[in-house]
Amino acid sequence: MMRTVQCEQQRHMGAILAIFNDAILHSTALYDYKPRTVEVMAAWFELKSKGNFPVIGIENDSGDLMGFGSYGTFRAWPAYKYSVEHSVYVDARFRGQGIGKRLLQEIIAAAQKQDYHVLVGGIDSTNTVSIRLHEAMAFTYSGTIRQAGFKFGRWLDLVFYQLILSTPSEPKDG
């Protein structure tokens, strides 16, 4: 059995840090080189809190965090206020169990509830699992930035997928 939770810094930071660092060290899911520290994660949680951005997790019956997802500012200029960039990470021990799909569903629901209009996902072009997940959830391919990153001795292409939501009902300038 799995349950959805709102991740809390004190309770979930260690598990989120481990998931992030595994992705940094062993994949191109994050275009980062060095493992994150507790201090970096504390600042990350603070930014999520200040921006009113959810950190949604899935736990098993034992209380293990199986994966998490969140979103944050897409671009910092005011006219982008209805767009957010999201991320989903699943602990390597729990992949292939539908956790990514469930997290993405929760992210979409949270974004709609907060009146966002566009969800943007930046995905390494070789991450076919994430690409298939986004396509299955009605995200559309929006472009590729070729050689956007360099990691593990090779150039990395970054693809973008987006989902346009029906929210907000009355968008406003300013």
Per-residue model confidence (pLDDT) at position 52: 97
Per-residue model confidence (pLDDT) at position 45: 97
Per-residue model confidence (pLDDT) at position 174: 85
Question: In this structure, how many other beta carbons lie within 10 angstroms of the beta carbon of residue 84?
Answer: 22
- In degrees, rounded to 5, the angle at the alpha carbon of residue 129 between the alpha carbons of residues 148 and 35 is 55
For 101-127, b/e burial (b = at least 16 CB within 10 A) is ebbbebbbebbeeeebbbbbbbbbeee
Q: Which domains, from first to last, does the chain contain?
A: 2-164 (3.40.630.30)
Amino acid at position 38, single letter: V
Q: Average pLDDT for consecutive 10-residue bins of the chain (174 residues)?
A: 95 97 96 97 97 97 97 96 98 96 98 98 97 98 98 98 96 92
Q: Collect all residues with Cβ–Cβ distance below 8 Å to 134 and sequence separation of at least 6.
A: 104, 121, 123, 161, 163
